[in-house]
Structure 1
């Protein structure tokens, strides 16, 4: 018999601590979880989302993503995103950026209904700066969310900012303990969640009980990882905000045979057995810079 819960619960590698002492699961565990769920799904002829409790949606909403750009470059990127069917984008930023010029360039290129999530990676520094900037930008209704404006170790600051501005506030978190602490502190409105597939669905359920919505964050990930995110998003009731699956437009190749297709700001959830993707071994060989063969004992 196959006991996914038992296999999933053992080697979580929880000794790793985040930058600010907020514990999170060792990212190396995520690869183990992806492989395990893909293997079991293929064996049972079930998609991974069925192993996570079943999908509650056939498509996952996705926003475009850009780094910290000049106004002209941001406008061009927003125009490209709009042309590709996206309805909004997430933008990296900092307190001293040319805010009005850049947002206006995005609006000129993509229109007033194109939404923005602003993510400074804590580089608004303190509540006084974050609140001042949010009030200064209040005339731009296209701003839909502020994510991680100040250091995340100080949830009191988040509660202070949240009480002072009208735009929703989000925290990017990766383990249940931090989600519980944020909920107890009333520190944010919504969550950008990471972690493995099972942990994501669990944390999304916590957020839902609090009345929050979530989306799935990512790094500059490859195709297998991003397919795992799709299955997790499909199985989480609270995952209704556009997720960050950014590898497809910043990487030359995703190392899978059939990369994701973005249509009207959404990606269809795979229903094939397992994760629903295959390694492109020709691409793996092409991009390999070193190889290590491990012989069995």
Structure 2
């Protein structure tokens, strides 16, 4: 079998899909994307395709090593995300060629169902509580919400109290047998994160995510030591080397993203490294169906997988939704806040290429918002 082409498709709402073609008619799908930089990652995939076209898709690890390390410059979000989507697609090809789901090729399933959570959005306590109740009625037993909007280097008592009020409203609405994760989104400084976590401890969140920006992860230990709330991070870390020091810092949950952190091959290694530190795995995935499918393959093969994020009805999804690009959306049927083990070959999904091609004719130019403080200075989004 030989690789004959790599085709990328920029599709709404903010995704990039990749199809790797072979001369035996098997197509593997991946999702290489940096949100807001879809065209840039598509260009990186095109450059990497010079090496792949004409190659046997089978030796995935050798391809990973060449694509990750064969260039003088390596790593970073763009190259790691391009590699991630290629890696997903190569695993999809291998699974389809052998008639097995990818997790069977990674040692077989360690569970039969995987717990999942969804998002709620907004700033008002009442609206957040209403959305949380809706999620519970949909069958979810866990949600994630934003911790705050624009945050200053040091925050007022009023801002901290407003955060507590929002989470309290959700907790009161859904009760104690429902998990609430809070995403600080890297918007908080280390000092504000410590204050905010201490103020939230009585509400017992499932975890607080990304309490600081990735370039300040050397300070994560100061945060984990200052609070009883489990700390999660990793969506903007792109390799096992990026995770190396973080895993020993006292975090509770590692959150590599299957579309950013080198794909299935690298996240499998990150998951194993996390296990050696007693750290759970919860792949970051506010993205599309291919990224979710790849995440689930890792979840079903990883003993320390805790919970899986999904982008179902997430506020970023305008124009298209998680299930719109699948021939059979039932593969992601969520029941009792969990999804059943996929048994179809490869990534376990069938992408509707006709729908993808039509969406790619529209494309998108999604960019993340740019926020500024009242004084005009840039604020973390």
Return the TM-score normalized by structure 1: 0.85
Q: Is the 8 A contact 1:156 1:187 kept in 2?
A: no
Q: Deviations over 1:28-74 (max 9, x none)?
A: 12221222111111111111112223221122211111335321221
Q: Deviations over 1:57-101 (max 9, x none)?
A: 122211111335321221121011111111111112225372233
Q: Does 1:209 align with 2:276?
A: yes
Q: Is the 8 A contact 1:85 1:263 kept in 2?
A: yes
The offset of 1:281, in angstroms, is: 3.3
Residue 288 of structure 1: aligned partner = 360
Q: Does 1:105 align with 2:105?
A: no
User: Any unmatched runs of 5+ in structure 1?
Assistant: 19-23, 292-297
Q: Which runs of 4+ in 1 moved over 6 A?
A: none
Q: Is the 8 A contact 2:288 2:311 kept in 1?
A: no
Q: Does 1:272 align with 2:344?
A: yes
The offset of 1:25, in angstroms, is: 5.2
Q: Is the 8 A contact 2:61 2:265 kept in 1?
A: no
Residue 182 of structure 1: aligned partner = 246
Candidates 206, 215, 223, aligned match of 1:161: 223
| Aligned residue-pair number | 281
Residue 60 of structure 2: aligned partner = 4
Q: Is the 8 A contact 1:222 1:247 kept in 2?
A: no
Residue 17 of structure 1: aligned partner = 76
The offset of 1:107, in angstroms, is: 2.2
The offset of 1:234, in angstroms, is: 1.0
Q: Does 1:227 align with 2:293?
A: yes
The offset of 1:207, in angstroms, is: 0.6
44-53 or 88-97, which deviates more:
88-97
Cα distance in 1 for partners of 2:218, 2:81 equals: 28
Q: Deviations over 1:229-261 (max 9, x none)?
A: 11011111211x212121465443430112211
Candidates 190, 203, 210, aligned match of 1:148: 210
Per the alignment, do residues 248 and 99 of structure 1 end up closer, same or farther by CA in structure 2, a change over 3 Å counting?
A: closer
SS at match of 2:308: coil
Cα distance in 2 for partners of 1:230, 1:246 equals: 13
Return the TM-score normalized by structure 2: 0.68
**Aligned Cα root-mean-square deviation (Å):** 2.3
Q: Does 1:117 align with 2:117?
A: no
Cα distance in 2 for partners of 1:59, 1:164 equals: 34
Cα distance in 1 for partners of 2:96, 2:175 equals: 44
Cα distance in 2 for partners of 1:155, 1:276 equals: 35
User: Any unmatched runs of 5+ in structure 2?
Assistant: 1-55, 152-158, 364-381
SS at match of 2:300: helix
Per the alignment, do residues 76 and 30 of structure 1 end up closer, same or farther by CA in structure 2, a change over 3 Å counting?
A: same
SS at match of 2:245: helix
Q: Does 1:237 align with 2:311?
A: no
Q: Is the 8 A contact 2:325 2:355 kept in 1?
A: yes
116-125 or 59-68, which deviates more:
59-68
Q: Is the 8 A contact 2:230 2:252 kept in 1?
A: yes
